[in-house]
Amino acid sequence: MVVLTPVLASAEDTFDIVLERLQFKESQHFHYQETRHLALLTQPWVATGELFITPEGMIIAQQSPTSILTKITENKLKYFDDERDVRRSIHLKRPFDVPGMAPFLQMLFRDKQQSSPEEHYNISFSLEQERWLLVLSPRLADRNKIKAMTLSGSQGKGPDFLNLEYTDGDQTEWKLSLLTHGHDVANILQKALDKINEEDDFED
């Protein structure tokens, strides 16, 4: 079921416009701040870094508190923790079914999905104080135990805030600031990957 809040003015964002805007069109380069609120931690945990959205998927280059690189493609998640010398490769059974990030990635790469997000999530759309807001909640019990995902951004712009709420009450927030988009992103990303590839076979 898609619940649509009435659109107040024709110039304002609508569900369809936002959905269209979310879908990948060109590479984007963000600065991000991730905050995890976990019951098992005495303090919220904060990480910052750069996030790239490319035609193949997403690359998260965490810079603090430690350097960690995560590469997500349609069928694989590769995780490289420089400090702990941990390398993980997870084969994804469904496209972009990354624990925690699945709804966001599936909306970004809708054309690579076998089904639309509406089939798996109840989606509500609203406009509040010059910002659009999308809330997705799984129709069925989610394997990744996500209760709801909230995505929002300024009117006429892409997303700058993502909040994942888990069934056990834990939450993860992402704050995104767009740095560049278009062709420049590929060069920046390539430099970042080249630096990593000198030391490791991170790339396929």
| Amino acid letter, residue 6 | P
Q: How far apart are CA 84 and CA 199, in angstroms?
A: 14
Stretch near other proteins under the rule CB under 8 A, chosen from 3-11, 92-100, 132-140, 154-162: 92-100
Q: How far apart are CA 34 and CA 38, in angstroms?
A: 13
The two tokens of residue 196 are: 């990593």
Mode of pairing for the β-strands spanning 146-154 and 131-138: antiparallel
Regarding 84 and contact with other proteins (CB under 8 A), the answer is: yes
- The 53-72 contact track toward other proteins, x by CB under 8 A, reads ---x-------------x--
Regarding 43 and contact with other proteins (CB under 8 A), the answer is: yes
**Quick one: which of 9, 93, 129, 140 contacts other proteins (CB under 8 A)?**
93
Q: Are 166 and 146 in contact (CB under 8 A)?
A: yes
Shortest Å distance, C-beta 119 to other proteins: 18
**Quick one: which of 8, 11, 40, 141 contacts other proteins (CB under 8 A)?**
40
| Amino acid letter, residue 66 | T
Regarding 36 and contact with other proteins (CB under 8 A), the answer is: yes
Regarding 112 and contact with other proteins (CB under 8 A), the answer is: yes
Q: Are 110 and 16 in contact (CB under 8 A)?
A: no
Q: How far apart are CA 116 and CA 57, in angstroms?
A: 18
- The 153-172 contact track toward other proteins, x by CB under 8 A, reads -------------x-x-x--
Residues 6+ away with beta carbon under 8 Å from 141: none
Shortest Å distance, C-beta 92 to other proteins: 6
The contact set with other proteins (CB under 8 A) reads: 36, 38-43, 45, 47, 56, 70, 73-77, 79, 81, 84, 86-93, 95, 97-100, 112, 143-145, 166, 168, 170, 204
